[in-house]
Amino acid sequence: MKTLWLKFSKITRLLKQGRLSPLLKLTVVLGSVWMLYLLSELRTDWSLNYSKWEYTDVDGGPEKECNCSAILQGETKAVEKAKLLALSEDFRKRVRIPDEYYINAAKDCRNFKLSRKYLTFPLSKEEEEFPLAYSMVVHHKVQNFERLLRAIYAPQNIYCVHVDKKSESSVFAAIMAITSCFPNVFMVRRPVSVVYAAWSRVQADLNCMADLYNASTEWKYLINVCGQDFPLKTNLEIIQMLRSLKGQNNMESEQMSAGKKWRVTNVHELVNEEIKRTGKQKEPPPFNLPMFSGNAYIVVTRGYIRSVLEDDRIQMLIEWGKDTYSPDEFLWATIQRMPGVPGSTRPHSKYDMTDMNSVARLVKWQWHEGPQDSLEAVYSECHGQHVRGVCVYGAGDLQGIIAQPHLFANKFDINIDPIAIYCLEKYLRQKALAELH
């Protein structure tokens, strides 16, 4: 388009100078008209290419009944209306998409990607040159998963999806159908049956990490997510934040409190799909490594993953940790403080990082919530519901969480508040397209 414009400008200059014969003038005028038309078409196509990726209220979803702009600004009336809608069983039924829809819709991949508005091209050179890897561990709620994938999808990135072996057949079939439509999204080679707080939760991520590491040498950072996560930043914002880390990893990692030490000092085993203490004491960790506390969600470099897969010290720590309780809440955090691991930090307490200071994930724990003016509260009160002490966000939480520095937040649930997800994904898409201008 730029070349055409330069040629048109040159011809116009020659015409003004009178340096063309009458016949050539006629030819040039006709050609110039054609070029102007072509330039106009190219410009029109360019704008259409981006406008059709926007989320609009005329897309037909039931969520159009709410005002996302007002909700994101925290306007009381809009938030209250959203709460009432979310409580309506009729509304939740109209929003819900069954697994069978995805199984059938993904038979026509081209139409599926168009109708669901996936961005199938890099939005900038900066993003194209900084690909990411995602490990996605899910076990139910296909609609949650698909909207998460759509929100973080970019063709230069790579995605490994681990579906729990215990998941319903419709869940597995629907996610398999969705992933088959994308060359850079694949199912993990070795899925496992995941049990809450058991080693299998770590193994699911480990298997995806290995597949991602072997599938591509291009990606710069790995981010692991679960099906109830959702991004708070656009892909461009994410990579800009990761660039600023300058090769460092980022996750919660702090001295383990006395109240959590029982998790790594007692032997545990699986009994009827539940993890229980055996009454036996564990041997100290290999090399007397200091144990650190963290969570399952991390932002790490390719070098960190290489160490996890190949470093003999870490392999011994992995074997040692298989009979602990909730090993995902100490393993990554402990590896992060091991000397020699790329992007790690020293084990000194001065390098401790809480979940509020790491960018990996925002989670609102019920016992740390409180009124906005409370000096004791870590975060504002939850506007959704609590599940196992964690806030499942409602529309009223959006204004507060998008102001946080975190890349992702947990938890979102289409069955509890579909408007929270809809407004957040609409906000992110509009922001991503606005970054182009």
189-221 burial code (b ≥16 CB/10 A, e <16): eebbebeebbbbbbbbbbbbbbbbbeeeeebeb
**Complete DSSP assignment for 185-215:** EEE-SS-----TTSHHHHHHHHHHHHHHHHH
Beta strands 185-187; 221-226: pairing state: unpaired
Residue 284: name the closest of 253, 335, 324 by CA: 324
85 neighbors 417 (Cβ within 8 angstroms) = no
Measured in Å, how far apart are the chain's first and last C-alpha atoms? 17
Residue 322: name the closest of 192, 210, 212 by CA: 192
For residue 340, CA distances in Å to 304, 307, 312, 332, 380 come to 10, 9, 12, 14, 39
Distance CA 404, CA 386 (A): 20
Task: Find the angle CA(361)-CA(363)-CA(366) to the nearest 5 degrees.
Answer: 170
**Complete DSSP assignment for 82-131:** HHHHHH-HHHHHHH---HHHHHHHTTSHHHHHHHTT---S-S-HHHHTS-
68 neighbors 62 (Cβ within 8 angstroms) = no
Residue type, 37: Y
Active-site residue identified among 329, 376, 425, 435: 329
Residue 329 falls in the annotated catalytic set: yes
Distance CA 175, CA 141 (A): 10
**Residues forming the active site:** 329
